[in-house]
């Protein structure tokens, strides 16, 4: 369902537009499996189509 607007998707999967926007911009610190499942089901995709692993710089030891 490419071209689906965020407002339409948020209504269909039952999460707020603000939370969906946070997920889209990559600013989310976590995502519930139920949310990921709902998005994938609605967009007919796999989690790997939505997620990307990025290494973060390791924190310096104290």
Q: How many domains does the chain have?
A: 1
Residue-range definition of the domain harbouring residue 33 = 6-50
What is the per-residue pLDDT for 1?
52
- Residue by residue, DSSP assigns 9-59 as HHHHHT--HHHHHHHHHT--S---HHHHHHHHHHHT--HHHH------PPP
Q: Per residue in 2-30, pLDDT tens? A: 667 899 999 999 999 999 999 999 899 99
Q: What is the pTM of this model?
A: 0.77
Residue 14 lies in a domain: yes
Average confidence score pLDDT of the chain: 88
Residue 61 lies in a domain: no
Residue 60 lies in a domain: no
Residue 57 lies in a domain: no
Residue 58 lies in a domain: no
What is the per-residue pLDDT for 58?
75
Residue 40 lies in a domain: yes
């Amino acid at each position: 369902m490419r071209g689906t607007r965020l407002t339409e998707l948020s209504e269909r999967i039952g999460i707020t537009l603000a939370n969906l926007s946070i997920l889209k911009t990559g600013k989310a610190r976590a995502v519930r499996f139920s949310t990921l499942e709902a998005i994938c089901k609605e967009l007919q995709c796999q989690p790997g189509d939505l997620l990307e692993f990025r290494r973060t710089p390791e924190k310096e030891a104290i």
